[in-house]
Amino acid sequence: MASPANAFKSLPSVDKLLHSEPLHQLVGRVGHVAVKIAAREQLEKVRNAMADGNGETLSWVKSASFLKDICSAIVIVVEAEFSSSLIPVFNLTGTVVHTNLGRARLPVEAITAMQVAASESTNLEYDLESGSRGDRDTHIEANLCRITGAEAATVVNNNAAAVLLVLNTLATDREVLISRGELVEIGGTFRIPDIMKSANCTLIEIGTTNRTHLRDYEAAITAKTALIMKVHTSNYEIRGFVNSVAESELSVLAKANKIPFISDLGSGTLIDLTKFDLPHEATVQETLRAGANIVTFSGDKLLGGPQAGIIVGDAELVRKIKRNPLKRALRIDKITLAALTEVISLYKDPHRLNSRLPLLADLTRAVAEIEELAKQLLPIMQASVKEWAEVLIKPCHSQIGSGSLPLDLLPSIAFELIPIAKKGQTDELLNNLARGFRRLPKPVIGRIHDGRLILDLRCLRDTETFQRQLANLRLS
Ligand SMILES: *Cc1c(COP(=O)(O)O)cnc(C)c1O
């Protein structure tokens, strides 16, 4: 029987561990600091267990495999520490533009441009002609104006920032008129009344939740009114006894009262989606033509680009917006700008857009193609879950997501996994199954509906990885 005192002495030193074969390689990869800390911690644990008189630990320390075992433990700790927690996943939720899963995937042109902007010095804010300081908006403004028909444009970190910046520039300490039906909350943290407060504006609610008339706006205009604002109700729709005022009417009213009319489109697209057999979504061009003086929209929703907020509209107003000191705090970074510039460029050739923009390719993917994919994957899917679930190929509906077109659904095809469980244990098995898919090396994210796990195949592209890892599916 090994005595603790002897066993303490027989423990290897940190140095010995670091120079041992299994850790030597790890040190080469991540440097000695992290490995040393982990080795010290593991030895400390062993020492504490020994001091507590843990018999198992004592015999483990004396065993032939101890050095190998403790090195393995150290490798696991260090590798976990160095592995990124931000990893790719399969979005089989059926929501194409999924905010929690990173919204739009970018086209290769954008990715290449990001790589260049990241690895090289660029003329980001440098005028090559004059050799003096330039403006980062110049790289994108002309194209945004050409495509949208706006006089001027600027870009910031995201659309929430765009709305904040516009309000803070044009309506600080003054009043902004918005219909009660448009006081939206998007994803919990973006709420129009809160943004108004942050921007130092006073929100004046117009009309009622379901009905707002032009005369309601007229009656609310005073000397303190700075703006009339329309907010696209991206993530819900009010139906039934409803009335809202058209943008064209609001812009006439605003003009007559010499105040700007601004529209937060949220999703905003630069093409008529009906051309691709998708539901109609208000375009930036239509909104400008209806008389909006400023339009704000996201770069990573229906536009299919990187996270960004785009502001287009009247030159005079955009000039003021650019001069706001907040602009500096909200500015777009060079890598995003490089990506966004490429994505905007793709819109100059709208006919090929659905083959070049991953978002549009996913949204317009033919049901027949998705069904073909489902048939091809069915046997391997059935084999990998056969102990726990039955698998069916079922028609389903994908949604565009991110607040775009909430009620319009796209026909798609899904695997429906029906748990094989005794009565009363179905939910637990279902949750276990969903967790099992989330624990795969490239996690598969589906959705649970009506006692089934639904995996919508519309956005499944990397089928090879998908199939290969299914053999690793384990339930806890
Ligand atoms: C999504 C959305 C926003 C916020 O845009 P982000 O790009 O997420 O910052 C603002 N307004 C509306 C109407 C939206 O739909």
Q: For residue range 9-60, what is the model confidence (pLDDT) as tens digits?
A: 889 999 999 999 889 989 999 999 999 999 999 999 999 998 898 888 888 9
- Site to substitute for ligand 1 among 157, 185, 190, most atoms within 8 A of C-beta: 190
Q: For residue range 182-200, what is the model confidence (pLDDT) as tens digits?
A: 987 776 678 889 999 999 9
266 CA to centre of ligand 1 in angstroms: 4
Q: Which ligand 1 atom is the nearest neighbour of the CA of 233?
A: 13
Q: Which of 315, 379, 353, 12 is nearest to 149 (CA)?
A: 315
Q: Which residues is 416 bridged to in the sheet?
A: 392, 454
Read off the pTM: 0.91
Residue nearest to atom 1 of ligand 1 (CA): 266
Which residues line ligand 1 at a C-beta cut-off of 6 Å? 158-160, 163, 184, 186, 190, 231-232, 234, 264, 266-267, 298, 309, 403
Q: Which residues is 398 bridged to in the sheet?
A: 410
Question: Residue 66: its pLDDT value, please?
Answer: 92
- What value does the mean pLDDT take over residues 104-127? 97
**What does pLDDT average to over the chain?**
93
Judged by average pLDDT, the poorest of 315-329, 363-377, 404-418 is: 404-418
Q: Checking phi first, is residue 449 left (phi over 0); if not, alpha (psi -120 to 50) or beta? A: beta
C-alpha count within 13 angstroms, C-beta hemisphere, residue 8: 11
Residue nearest to atom 7 of ligand 1 (CA): 159
Question: Residue 1: its pLDDT value, please?
Answer: 47
103 CA to centre of ligand 1 in angstroms: 12
- What value does the mean pLDDT take over residues 422-435? 94
267 CA to centre of ligand 1 in angstroms: 7
User: Which secondary-structure segment (H or E) carries 317?
Assistant: helix 315-323
Give CA–CA dist 409/394, Å, rounded.
15
Q: Which ligand 1 atom is the nearest neighbour of the CA of 163?
A: 10
Q: What percent of the chain has pLDDT over 70?
A: 96
404 falls in which pLDDT band (50, 70, 90)? low
Give CA–CA dist 354/1, Å, rounded.
73
Q: Which of 251, 329, 248, 336 is nearest to 299 (CA)?
A: 336
Eight-state DSSP code of residue 324? S
Question: Residue 10: its pLDDT value, please?
Answer: 81
Q: For residue range 236-260, what is the model confidence (pLDDT) as tens digits?
A: 677 788 888 899 999 999 999 999 9
Give CA–CA dist 44/57, Å, rounded.
12
Residue nearest to atom 3 of ligand 1 (CA): 266
The amino acid sitting at 187 is G
Pairing type for strands 404-419 and 190-191 reads unpaired
Q: What percent of the chain has pLDDT over 90?
A: 80
CATH domain 90-98+362-472 topology: Aspartate Aminotransferase, domain 1 (3.90.1150)
Indicate if the pLDDT at residue 430 is higher than 60. yes
Tokens of 6: 């002897």
Q: Which of 30, 48, 38, 31 is nearest to 14 (CA)?
A: 38
Question: Residue 279: its pLDDT value, please?
Answer: 85
Distances (CA, A) of 152 to 139, 261, 285, 316, 356: 13, 16, 13, 8, 27
163 CA to centre of ligand 1 in angstroms: 9
- What value does the mean pLDDT take over residues 391-405? 87
> How many Å separate Cα 164 from the centre of its chain?
20
Strand arrangement of the beta sheet that strand 389-401 belongs to: 389-401, 404-419, 452-456, 447-449
CATH architecture of 108-356: 3-Layer(aba) Sandwich (3.40)
207 CA to centre of ligand 1 in angstroms: 23
107 CA to centre of ligand 1 in angstroms: 22
193 CA to centre of ligand 1 in angstroms: 14
209 CA to centre of ligand 1 in angstroms: 20
Distances (CA, A) of 137 to 23, 266, 311, 358: 50, 21, 11, 25
Give CA–CA dist 437/414, Å, rounded.
15
- What value does the mean pLDDT take over residues 219-239? 89
Q: Which ligand 1 atom is the nearest neighbour of the CA of 232?
A: 13
Q: Do 90-98+362-472 and 108-356 have matching folds?
A: no
Q: What are the boundaries of each domain within the chain? A: 4-82, 90-98+362-472, 108-356
- What value does the mean pLDDT take over residues 217-243? 88
Q: Which ligand 1 atom is the nearest neighbour of the CA of 235?
A: 15
Q: Which ligand 1 atom is the nearest neighbour of the CA of 99?
A: 8
- Site to substitute for ligand 1 among 95, 156, 157, 159, most atoms within 8 A of C-beta: 159
Q: Which ligand 1 atom is the nearest neighbour of the CA of 403?
A: 15
